[in-house]
A and B are shown apart, each in its own frame.
Chain A
Amino acid sequence: MNNTHTGQAGKKLSLKEKYALMTRGLGWDTSYEPMDKVFDQLGLEGIRIHDWDKWEDPFRLTMDAYWKYQAEKERKLYAVLDAFQQNNGHLNISDARYVNTLKLFFTGITPAEYNAHRLFAMLGRQFPGPGAAIACQMQAVDELRHVQTQIHSISQYNKYFNGLHDHSVMNDRLWYLSVPKSFFEDAISSGPFEQIIAISFALEYLLTNLVFMPFMSGAAYNGDMATVTFGFSSQSDEARHMTLGLECIKFVLEQDPGNVEIIQRYLDKWFWRGYKVLGLVSMMLDYMLPRKVMSWKEAWEIYFVQNGGSLFNDLSRYGLRMPRHWEQSVAEAEHLSHQTWNSFYNFSDAAAFHVWLPSDEDMAWLSEKYPNTFDQHYRPRIEHYRRLQAEGKRYYNPSLPMLCQTCQIPLIFTEGDDPTRTSHRETEHEGEKYHFCSDGCQEVFEQQPDKYVSAWLPAHQILQGNCFAPDADPQAAGFQAEAEVMRYFHVNPGQDNMDYEGSQDEANWRLWKGLSPDGASKAPPAA
Chain B
Amino acid sequence: MSVEIRVASIDPIRQTFARTSRRFGADKPASRYQEASFDLQPRDNFHYRPVWDPERDIYDSRRTAICMRDWDDFRDPRQYYYATYVLNRARMQETAEKSFEFVERHGLLATLSAGQVHQVEALLLPFRHLEWAANLNNCFITAYCFGSSMAQGAMYNTTDRLGIAQYLSRIGLLLDGNSGRSLIAAKERWLGDPAWQGLRRLAEHSLVRKDWFEIFVAQNLVLDSLVHPVMYARLHTELDAPGAAYLAMLTEFMKDWYGENVKWVDACLKIAAAESADNRAQLSAWAAEWKGRAIEALDPLVRLIDSGDGPQRLEAAVAALDLRMTRLGLDPA
- Which residues on A are within 8 Å of B, measured CB to CB? 1-13, 18, 21-23, 25-28, 30-33, 37-38, 41, 44, 62-64, 66-68, 70-72, 74-75, 77-78, 86-88, 91, 111, 114-115, 117-118, 121-122, 124-125, 130, 133-134, 137-138, 140-141, 144-145, 147-149, 151-152, 155, 158-162, 164-169, 171-173, 178, 181-182, 185-186, 188-192, 451-452, 454-456, 461, 490, 504, 508, 512, 524-525, 527
For B39, the closest partner residue in chain A by CB is A168
Chain A CB within 8 A of B51 CB:
yes
* Interface flags, B117-141, vs A, CB<8A=1, else 0: 1100110000011011001100110
Chain B residues with CB under 8 A of A144: 82, 152, 155
Q: Which 3 pairs show the lowest CB-CB distances between chains A and B?
A: A71-B90, A10-B178, A63-B163
Chain B residues with CB under 8 A of A62: 163, 166
Name the contact of A78 in the complex, choosing from B13, B83, B109, B159 (C-beta under 8 A). Answer: B83
The answer to whether B187 touches A25 (Cβ under 8 A) is yes
The answer to whether A25 touches B184 (Cβ under 8 A) is yes
A141 touching B155 in the complex, CB below 8 Å, given contacts A74-B87, A88-B10:
yes
Interface of B is mostly: helix
Name the contact of A10 in the complex, choosing from B17, B90, B159, B174 (C-beta under 8 A). Answer: B174
Name the contact of A186 in the complex, choosing from B15, B36, B48, B160 (C-beta under 8 A). Answer: B48
Name the contact of B13 in the complex, choosing from A30, A44, A121, A508 (C-beta under 8 A). Answer: A508
Chain A residues with CB under 8 A of B155: 117, 121, 140-141, 144
The answer to whether A151 touches B82 (Cβ under 8 A) is no
Most buried by A among B104, B135, B188: B135
The answer to whether A22 touches B47 (Cβ under 8 A) is no
Name the contact of B8 in the complex, choosing from A22, A68, A88, A121 (C-beta under 8 A). Answer: A88
Name the contact of B142 in the complex, choosing from A118, A148, A152, A188 (C-beta under 8 A). Answer: A118
Task: State which size class the interface on B falls in.
Answer: 35 or more
The answer to whether B49 touches A32 (Cβ under 8 A) is no
Chain A CB within 8 A of B229 CB:
no
The answer to whether B114 touches A68 (Cβ under 8 A) is no
Interface of A is mostly: helix
Min CB distance, A145 to chain B, in Å? Answer: 4
**Interface window among B201-209, B284-292, B311-319:** B201-209
A-B contact pairs, 30 of them (CB 8 A): A4-B175, A4-B181, A10-B179, A18-B178, A25-B169, A26-B132, A28-B129, A28-B187, A30-B207, A44-B52, A63-B93, A64-B96, A70-B82, A74-B82, A111-B40, A118-B142, A121-B158, A124-B142, A141-B82, A148-B36, A149-B82, A166-B18, A166-B19, A169-B44, A181-B45, A189-B58, A191-B52, A452-B48, A455-B47, A512-B10
* Interface flags, B10-54, vs A, CB<8A=1, else 0: 101111111100000000000010011001111111111111100
For A1, the closest partner residue in chain B by CB is B185
Bound: A461/B47 CA distance, A: 12
**Interface window among B143-151, B273-281, B298-306, B322-330:** B143-151
A21 touching B109 in the complex, CB below 8 Å, given contacts A121-B143, A124-B143, A191-B51:
no
For A20, the closest partner residue in chain B by CB is B180
Chain A residues with CB under 8 A of B183: 21, 25
Bound: A255/B12 CA distance, A: 57
Chain A residues with CB under 8 A of B236: none
For A191, the closest partner residue in chain B by CB is B51
Given contacts A22-B169, A133-B139, 19 further A-B contacts (CB under 8 A): A2-B185, A8-B177, A11-B178, A11-B179, A28-B191, A68-B94, A70-B90, A88-B7, A137-B135, A141-B82, A145-B83, A155-B17, A178-B47, A185-B46, A189-B48, A189-B49, A454-B47, A455-B48, A527-B9
Bound: A44/B50 CA distance, A: 11
Bound: A72/B91 CA distance, A: 11
Name the contact of A185 in the complex, choosing from B58, B170, B207 (C-beta under 8 A). Answer: B58
A155 touching B16 in the complex, CB below 8 Å, given contacts A4-B185, A527-B8:
yes
The answer to whether A32 touches B179 (Cβ under 8 A) is no
Chain B residues with CB under 8 A of A189: 47-51, 58
Chain B residues with CB under 8 A of A186: 47-48
Name the contact of B165 in the complex, choosing from A13, A26, A155 (C-beta under 8 A). Answer: A26
Chain A CB within 8 A of B231 CB:
no
For A21, the closest partner residue in chain B by CB is B180
The answer to whether A64 touches B163 (Cβ under 8 A) is yes
Chain A CB within 8 A of B194 CB:
no
Most buried by A among B13, B35, B148, B175: B13
